[in-house]
Amino acid sequence: MPGLMACRAEFGPSQPFKGAKITGSLHMTIQTAVLIETLTALGAEVRWCSCNIFSTHDHAAAAIARDSAAVFAWKGETLQEYWWCTEIALDWGSTGGPDLIVDDGGDATLLIHEGVKAEEADPKKYTRMKERLVGVSEETTTGVKRLYQMETNGSLLFPAINVNDSVTKSKFDKLYGCRHSLPDGLMRATDVMISGKVAVVCGYGDVGKGCAAALKQAGARVIVTEIDPICALQALMEGLQVLTLEDVVSEADIFVTTTGNKDIIMVDHMRKMKNNAIVCNIGHFDNEIDMHGLETYPGVKRITIKPQTDRWVFPETNTCIIVLAEGRLMNLGCATGHPSFVMSCSFTNQVIAQLELWKERATGKYEKKVYVLPKHLDEKVAALHLGKLGAKLTKLTKDQADYIGVPVEGPYKPPHYRY
């Protein structure tokens, strides 16, 4: 993870996080372990929980709990245990709470906001946390949507940096990470041969693009469902079909939700699927697939094939579907998620965002709004990873830089540039 190693080399000697208390709510994987070790190497005290009940690598959690930080996470948590872990990771005893939050999906941020609302009549625990908090850096689309909603309605309690929309996060973690980890999760869970299958990808954003590319490269015939005409046109230009779920529900072998929205595949869709169709989610929460409707469907039978791989049998037809990771993130529930190199890009953005919030905590630079990292830092994250892949950058001359109106050392693109 060259970006994180570079952060340690550059910032470690100055201990910029000395005195900072950081709570993380992010998948407790081996890659996240390196992020935690980086934060502690820069002087922070850290408490951590996972943002998904199935995504924890127990050996990574144990190693970090032994050596670096307090960790409250294990694979296969119940929902009650999940929220207990989140709450205890936010609890720093008499100091009240963390200074900074590293979030993925926004649950830690949401818990504080909901806690403050509940305590308005009697301010105590969460209000003290709110008053101490310097800010949060958010990892993923779902959490960012929550932050922008809070900013719009005026309820955001502290500054937030949107790491998700850094180019070196969204165009790498989502696209290339999912292109790697979707087929990995499918293979480990089912050992299905993808070649020759009909696969439906619900959503063609950055995650959907990576998933569709992986399935197409593996030999599947890929069909995309989309609400956005621009994304739909992109899919068509890549040689994919764009149809509605209702058009293809009885035809496809594999269904993947990637939207970050709810109620994408409903139980009525699942009833109409062919026998042994595979249904999985790589978006975020488990409400993309109507798991509640499936679990409460009259007479439905659940057969666990192995952990996070379940066959659901419908009584009227005796046909079944295979649901992965109980509708949660299948690449983390059934496999180990994205590879380390691409997560280094994402987590380097997190470290830089946390440093920026902490460094500017007394200046008033950041208000109770959502911010993105500036372009020069995005380019820096990319540059830190080039050497490991044997890349050499061409250098602009001063005359060339003046001709196109950019600094010799960058940034080279305007903020609105679409990569």
Separation of alpha carbons 56 and 237, rounded Å = 38
Residue 140 has a pLDDT of 92
Domain membership flag for residue 22: yes
Domain membership flag for residue 414: no
Question: Same domain for 194 and 268?
Answer: yes
Locus of tokens 């919030």: 357
Question: Same domain for 212 and 112?
Answer: no
Domain membership flag for residue 117: yes
Domain membership flag for residue 28: yes
Question: Same domain for 349 and 366?
Answer: yes
Question: Same domain for 180 and 213?
Answer: yes
Question: Same domain for 97 and 210?
Answer: no
DSSP 20-86: -EEEEES--SHHHHHHHHHHHHTT-EEEEE-SSTT---HHHHHHHHHHT-EEE--TT--HHHHHHHH
Q: How many domains would you assign to the chain?
A: 2
Question: Same domain for 258 and 373?
Answer: no
Residue 240 has a pLDDT of 98
Question: Same domain for 226 and 87?
Answer: no
**Mean pLDDT for back-to-back runs of 10 residues, the chain (419 residues):** 96 97 98 98 98 96 96 97 97 91 96 90 82 95 95 97 95 96 98 98 98 98 98 98 98 98 98 98 93 98 97 96 98 96 96 97 97 95 96 98 97 92
My answer on whether omega of the bond before 339 falls inside 30° of 0, hence cis, is no
Residue numbers in the known binding site for NAD(+) are 140-142, 205-210, 226, 282-284, 331, 338
Domain membership flag for residue 40: yes
Q: Per-residue pLDDT tens for 272-313?
A: 999 999 999 999 888 999 999 999 999 999 999 999 999 999
CATH number, domain at 229?
3.40.50.720
Question: Same domain for 41 and 104?
Answer: yes
Q: Residue 9: exposed, middle, or buried by beta-carbon count in 10 A (0-12, 13-18, 19+)?
A: exposed
Residue 95 has a pLDDT of 82
CATH number, domain at 80?
3.40.50.1480
Question: Same domain for 343 and 286?
Answer: no
Residue numbers in the known binding site are 29, 104, 139-142, 169, 173, 205-210, 226, 282-284, 331, 338
Question: Same domain for 366 and 379?
Answer: yes
| Amino acid found at 365 | K
Residues written for the chain = 419
Domain membership flag for residue 271: yes
Question: Same domain for 234 and 204?
Answer: yes
Residue 123 has a pLDDT of 75
pTM for the model: 0.90
Locus of tokens 């500017």: 360
Residue 285 has a pLDDT of 84
Q: Per-residue pLDDT tens for 191-208?
A: 999 999 999 999 999 999
Q: Domain containing 118: what range?
A: 2-168+338-388
Residue numbers in the known binding site for substrate are 29, 104, 139, 169, 173
CA 286 → CA 7, 28, 147, 191, 419, distances in Å?
Answer: 34, 18, 20, 23, 30
Question: Same domain for 129 and 146?
Answer: yes
Domain membership flag for residue 406: no
Separation of alpha carbons 237 and 239, rounded Å = 5
Among the listed residues 299, 243, 289, the one whose alpha carbon sits nearest the alpha carbon of residue 269:
289
Residue 177 has a pLDDT of 97
Residue 96 has a pLDDT of 84
Domain membership flag for residue 395: no
In degrees, to the nearest 5, what angle opens at C-alpha 73 toward C-alphas 68 and 77?
170
